[in-house]
Amino acid sequence: MLGEVLQWAQPADAILSLWLRANPKLGGRDRGEISEAVYDVLRHLRRYRRLAETGVGSAARRLAVLGLAATIGQERLAEALQPDENEWLSYAAKIDPATLSREVRHSMPDWLAQRLGDHDEPESLMQALNKPAPLDLRANPLKVERDALLAVLREGPGARYAPEPMPYSPWGIRVAGHPPVNRWPQFENGSLEVQDEGSQLLSLLVAPRRGEMIIDFCAGAGGKTLLLGALMRSTGRLYAFDVSAARLARAKPRFARSGLSNVVPVVIEGENDTRVKRLAGKAQRVLVDAPCSGIGTLRRNPDLKWRQHPESLVELTDLQHRILKSAARCVAPGGRLVYATCSLLEEENSKQAERFLAEHPDFERLDAAALLAQRVPNLALNGPYMQLRPDRHGTDGFFAAVFERKKAVARSAAQPDEAAEPSTEPTPAAPESAAPAEAGQD
């Protein structure tokens, strides 16, 4: 399994899923242990490769041994190893990680270690990115209050996973372990969804109101769309734009379970699609959760740090700029534009926001930290942006900037032939690569 993942042909979760389906005779415990060991190796790959330099056997086997020893324990693994392998593993276990360089100790490629090293308390940040993330859930406010749902989970199948209210999101519930949430009745009836707490907080920045026209410009799997629609009480119109028909098709069962009737999924060909142009100056709120490197989600997707590189960032930042520029055209005078990523890198975050402001004098920046403080007073952030970190906030690394279109701007931005709302008839899918979905827990 590990040998296939390290070819980097596809995301690790996709390869793991295919491999497990191809080996149906494996028991549930085996599947769990293999998955945990693979992800442990991906998190600590650079350090494990350094330790494996002194080992015996194939390189992939040495990495697998280290991953299994970390997840199921050296004692249990010992009976499956040769004597020289056990001797090497004991030697490797005695090496103090503090004696290794920062990039090796935290298993970061050089370029990423340098970028993260510019943050406050970089050691704490890198260490947190290498720890497995908990499972974050969210109550559907259209169907149930968080406290009522929490009480039901504590009395039913979720009790063994110690569900607790999240510290910041008013809808969030955090659980331990890996529960089969998709088989819980609360999930099946749409009362419960899976969504990282940082992703949930984006909805507080969008601040949707009943009856408004709102656009989720990069809807992806639909997690944020669902919460926005519920906060609108299923009124108004909520467009879910994405370049991938397949992604929107996967989101449709979630929309159906949620009970929402105001979501309009629209497949667009790109940021300059005519359906986007027809909404010029019409939307009160526009959310751009832009395709990004996903560096803020390394707890869940540790392979990203090995599959991303500085060259790919150049393409991503150019795409983000184009998408944000296009989405801004849809914002009505006095309307709000929220730009977000699940990244910790400045070129995808604050630098994009500053470039946008420099090129769009008809917009002004709002203090995202101050806006959140009105709803989440215990969330300490330094404005003017929202930057969440796993070591400080227990969330994925989410960034958000909030802009408002000045009311003095004339509505003449819309061309005469752009007056109609976009057609919602089925449209052909654009290539998946045009704008990848966000990597976070949507």
Q: Which residues are catalytic?
A: 342
172-175 vs 164-165, strand pairing mode: antiparallel
Residues pairing with 267 in the sheet: 242
Q: What is the CA radius of gyration of the chain?
A: 23
Nearest of 79, 1, 356, 337 to residue 202 by alpha carbon: 337
CB 331 within 8 A of CB 283: yes
CB 402 within 8 A of CB 337: yes
SS3 427: coil
H or E element: which one contains 222? none
Question: If you search the block for the tokens 């976070």, which residue do you land on?
Answer: 440
User: Which alpha helices (H) appear in 170-291, and where do they start and end?
Assistant: 185-188, 197-206, 223-231, 245-258, 274-277
- Count of C-beta atoms within a 10 Å radius of residue 212: 19
H or E element: which one contains 70? helix 59-72
Buried b / exposed e over 99-116, threshold 16 CB at 10 Å, is ebeebbbbbbbeebbebb
Binning the chain into helix, strand and coil, the percentages to the nearest 5 are 45, 15, 40
H or E element: which one contains 164? strand 164-165
Query: Residue 123 CA to chain centroid, in angstroms?
Result: 22
356 Rama class: left (phi>0) / alpha (psi -120 to 50) / beta: alpha
Question: If you search the block for the tokens 């290539």, which residue do you land on?
Answer: 431
Nearest of 262, 268, 270 to residue 214 by alpha carbon: 262
The phi and psi torsions of 309 (rounded to 5 degrees) equal -155, 165
Structure tokens, 440: 């976070």
